[in-house]
Amino acid sequence: MISEAVTVDQGARLRADICIVGAGAAGISMALHLSGRGLSVLLLEAGHLGRDKATQALYAGEVADEHLHSPPDKYRLRQFGGSTAIWGGRCMPFDPLDFQQRGAVPFSGWPIGYDDLASFYPEANTLSEAGRFEYDADSVFGPGARPMIQGFDSPVVRTNSIERFSCPTNFATRYHGRLALASDVRVLLGANCTGIRLQPNGGSVRELEVATLSGRRFTVQARSIVIATGGLEVARLLLASRDVVPAGVGNENDVVGRYYQCHIAGNVGLLTVHGSPDRVRHGYEISPDGIYCRRRLSLTAEAQRRLGVGNMVARLHFPRIADPSHRNGVLSGLFMARRLISYEYGKRLEAGAQGSLRNHALHLRNILLDSVDTTGFLWHWITRRTLAERKFPSVILRNRSNRFSLEVHSEQMPQPQSRVTLGDGVDALGLPPLCVDWRYCARDIESVRVTLDAFAAEFAQSGVASFEYDRDTLEQDLTRYGAYGGHHTGTTRMGTDPRTSVVDANCKVHSVDNLFVAGSAAFATSSQANPTLTLIALSLRLADHLARRGTQAPMPADKAGIAA
Ligand SMILES: Cc1cc2nc3c(=O)[nH]c(=O)nc-3n(C[C@H](O)[C@H](O)[C@H](O)COP(=O)(O)OP(=O)(O)OC[C@H]3O[C@@H](n4cnc5c(N)ncnc54)[C@H](O)[C@@H]3O)c2cc1C
């Protein structure tokens, strides 16, 4: 059942076995998984179907350095479905080594292993509409399929791991019907959780406070409460709820909001593959189950350990779009149209010094000289992306030169100094805004450098290709656009030690019996992988845990200590 929170009586107290706050990928996946398990589920969602300016404004906040991190109301959406209304749909699981303790990655080691999530990944794939849970090109396309780079066979560099693409599925529109029909799930839209109120001893949640922007206020009690408000907002809600624990819920050890990670990403260097262009597969392939897939380069787990680096992948990419020396009409067209593209996707097309009048003239010349390819691309984009239900994932260009840059996507080292805190003032509902102070460290850059050097050595050894890049500009190349947006990770990280973690192996806040976190805030480390598939798998695992906890868990006593 789905309804608006304004229909709830002023001052009412709602009850459910499980209350989930936030209907993004994590919250919706949990609600669907819990439906039919004999429990009542209440799903509180701040937003509505589609965007609403006043609701999105509740995400506004500060950043310590806007060059390093976008403002917090960008790269996330406060609406039913959350950021799946804007995500790119790239899916791949974490690797087994991501969960392990690694000497090269400080604070690494999850209290769960890959095997604990393995049985939930296929359902996460299904919910994301990314097809079968198969991420090895040999098993997806068969061992006889053409390799990524013909003749390149390395014991150190893998070329057969793939990423799969969701439609990209908007979880609100896709699962609206199922949620509306579920008699055991009640979804309330426009329901902003404004506070987590603990029992006087701080050991469990007494109730949640909820408000609408129109001024309606009510409370919720539940046996289990899940905060699924996204990687940044989970920390904000915990920190802002400080009536019993002055530092904020779960923050006895000053860990909430720390270890904030994104990904380190950028376009680097020049890979030249010798021979004809058909020796290389750099674009999308369609799997037998109809999913766009793409191959990547990565180091084997053994090589990562030996070289002492974090996890990283690289895709074969085109040259920097802002620089017109690529002479490509399609890229120049994209550059000229960058202001028409949403902030989140246009940001990486920003020109900086390359936005001069002269460069604009050169881009225009590229478009005119390359008009046949540019028109062909436009036709392809309109038919295969704009009008298609399953969208062609990104711009891919025919590459006649066999020269590519590498699009790097690397794990970020967790560090306590990289953090979110509460800023000054309050929003329209009385909550302090977020202040984001994202930091990277020298080790992040060094890890990418060592990995790229290993790629270069293996290409040289094979004689099939060569790779070179400028060490002096590597840091600039990787931080030009700041933190990779949208992958908000680690702010209430999982662990066994409350001095360096906020939740345990079951995503339960260490110090609070009935409070759980769903989403990438609970990740201990960030992996090479985009977060959504794994956060869905982790949420499904949490849903199973809560279903087992079921009605055995007590309903909280009210303020006067009377059990409900
Ligand atoms: C431009 C962009 C591209 C991306 N591309 C990819 C990609 O290709 N692959 C990938 O894996 N990931 C990608 N991501 C990341 C992906 O979108 C997120 O990982 C995912 O959507 C997070 O889901 P979530 O449910 O944890 O959080 P959210 O999507 O943030 O959902 C949280 C929900 O909680 C609600 N909420 C917030 N506060 C409250 C409150 N106080 N009370 C009640 N409700 C509240 C919000 O309205 C929202 O609906 C991308 C993100 C962006 C921005």
Q: How far is CA 331 from CA 17, 363, 395, 402, in A?
A: 53, 8, 9, 17
C-alpha of residue 120 to centroid of ligand 1, in Å: 19
Distance CA 508, CA 43 (A): 18
Mutating to test ligand 1, I would choose from 87, 213, 234, 487 the residue with most ligand atoms within 8 A of its C-beta, which is 87
Q: Per DSSP, which regions of 114-184 are E strands?
A: 157-165
Determine the pLDDT at residue 563: 40
Distance 382 CA to ligand 1 centre (A): 27
Residue nearest to ligand 1 atom 4, measured at CA: 87
Report which ligand 1 atom has the smallest distance to the Cα of 89.
8
Determine the pLDDT at residue 341.
Answer: 84
Q: Is the dihedral of CA 539, 544, 549, 554 positive or negative?
A: positive
Answer yes or no: are the C-beta atoms of 196 and 241 closer than 8 Å: yes
Burial degree of 120 (CB within 10 A; 0-12, 13-18, 19+): buried
Superfamily of domain 1-60+76-130+168-262+483-559: FAD/NAD(P)-binding domain (3.50.50.60)
Return the closest-CA partner of residue 532 out of 132, 171, 235, 285: 171
Output phi, psi for 186, to 5 deg.
-110, 120
Joined together, the tokens standing for residue 217 give 């206020």
Length of the chain: 564
Helix, strand, coil fractions of the chain, as percent rounded to 5: 30, 20, 45
Q: Quote the ligand 1 centre to 521 CA distance (angstroms).
A: 11
Return the residue matching tokens 């794990």.
411
Collapsing DSSP to helix, strand or coil, 346 comes out as: helix
Burial class (CB in 10 A: 0-12, 13-18, 19+), 356: exposed
The tokens describing 75, both together, are 């790269």
C-alpha dist (Å) from residue 257 to 183, 321, 381:
36, 35, 40
End-to-end CA separation in angstroms for the chain: 24
Residue nearest ligand 1's atom 3 by CA: 87
Report whether 188 contacts 4 (CB < 8 A): yes
Q: What contacts 100, CB < 8 A, 6 or more positions away? A: 108, 109, 113
Measured by CA distance, the residue closest to atom 21 of ligand 1 is: 83
Residues 444 and 312 sit within 8 Å (Cβ to Cβ): no
Centre of ligand 1 from the C-alpha of residue 76, in Å = 6
Q: Which of 80, 83, 349, 434 to mutate to test the pocket of ligand 1 (most atoms within 8 A of CB)?
A: 83
Torsion on CA atoms 170, 171, 174, 176, rounded to nearest 10 = -130
Closest residue by Cα to atom 19, ligand 1, is 532
Judge whether 445 and 144 are in contact, CB under 8 Å.
no
**Which of 175, 234, 341, 532 has the most ligand 1 atoms within 8 A of CB, as the residue to mutate?**
532
Report the pLDDT value the prediction gives residue 558, as an integer from 0 to 100.
61
Per the CB < 8 A criterion, the answer to whether 97 and 304 are in contact is yes
What lines the ligand 1 site, CB under 6 Å? 21-27, 44-47, 75-76, 78-79, 82-84, 86-90, 191-193, 228-230, 233, 237, 344, 485-487, 519-520, 530-532, 535
- Token digits for 126? 């299904």
Q: Where are the domains of the chain?
A: 1-60+76-130+168-262+483-559, 132-165+265-318+399-411+450-482, 320-398
Q: What is the pLDDT of residue 349?
A: 73
Q: What's the CA-to-centroid distance between 49 and ligand 1, angstroms?
A: 14
Q: Give the C-alpha distances (Å, rounded to integers) separating 112 from 200, 290, 361, 494, 514.
A: 32, 33, 55, 9, 20
Give the residue, by CA position, lying nearest to ligand 1 atom 23: 25
Q: Which of 61, 488, 65, 502 is nearest to 260 (CA)?
A: 488
Q: Is 404 helix (H, G, I), strand (E, B) or coil?
A: strand
pLDDT of residue 560: 46
Smallest CA-to-CA distance from 212 within 194, 200, 238 is with 194
For the CA of 47, the closest atom of ligand 1 is 47
String of DSSP letters for 268-297 = EEEEEE-S-GGGB--S-EE-TTS-EEEEEE
Q: Are strands 185-189 and 2-4 parallel, antiparallel or unpaired?
A: parallel
Collapse the DSSP code of 370 into the 3-class scheme (helix H, G, I; strand E, B; otherwise coil) and give the result.
coil
Q: Which helix (H) or strand (E) segment is 48 a member of?
A: none
- Quote the CA–CA distance of 109 and 101 in Å, as a whole number: 4
Tell me the CA–centroid distance for residue 25 and ligand 1, in Å.
7
Q: Which atom of ligand 1 is nearest to the CA of 26?
A: 25
Distance from the alpha carbon of residue 39 to the mean position of ligand 1, in angstroms: 26
**Which atom in ligand 1 lies closest to the alpha carbon of residue 80?**
49
C-alpha 86 – ligand 1 centre gap (Å):
9
For position 465, what pLDDT does the model report?
Answer: 97
How many angstroms separate the alpha carbon of residue 228 from the centre of ligand 1? 9
Q: Going residue by residue through the chain (564 aa), what tens digit of pLDDT does each one get?
A: 999 999 999 999 999 999 999 999 999 999 999 999 999 999 999 999 999 999 999 999 999 999 999 999 999 999 999 999 999 999 999 999 999 999 999 999 999 999 999 999 999 999 999 999 999 999 999 988 889 999 999 999 999 999 999 999 999 999 999 999 999 999 999 999 999 999 999 999 999 999 999 999 999 999 999 999 999 999 999 999 999 999 999 999 999 999 999 999 999 999 999 998 888 998 999 999 999 999 999 999 999 999 999 999 999 998 778 888 878 888 888 888 888 888 888 877 775 656 688 888 999 998 988 888 888 888 888 888 888 989 999 887 777 778 899 999 999 999 999 999 999 999 999 999 999 999 999 999 999 999 999 999 999 999 999 999 999 999 999 999 899 889 999 999 999 999 999 999 999 999 999 999 999 999 999 999 999 999 999 999 999 999 999 888 899 976 544 443
Ligand 1 centre to CA of 230 (Å) is 5
Give pLDDT, residue 58.
98
- Give the largest CA-CA distance in the chain: 78
Give residue 564's pLDDT.
Answer: 39
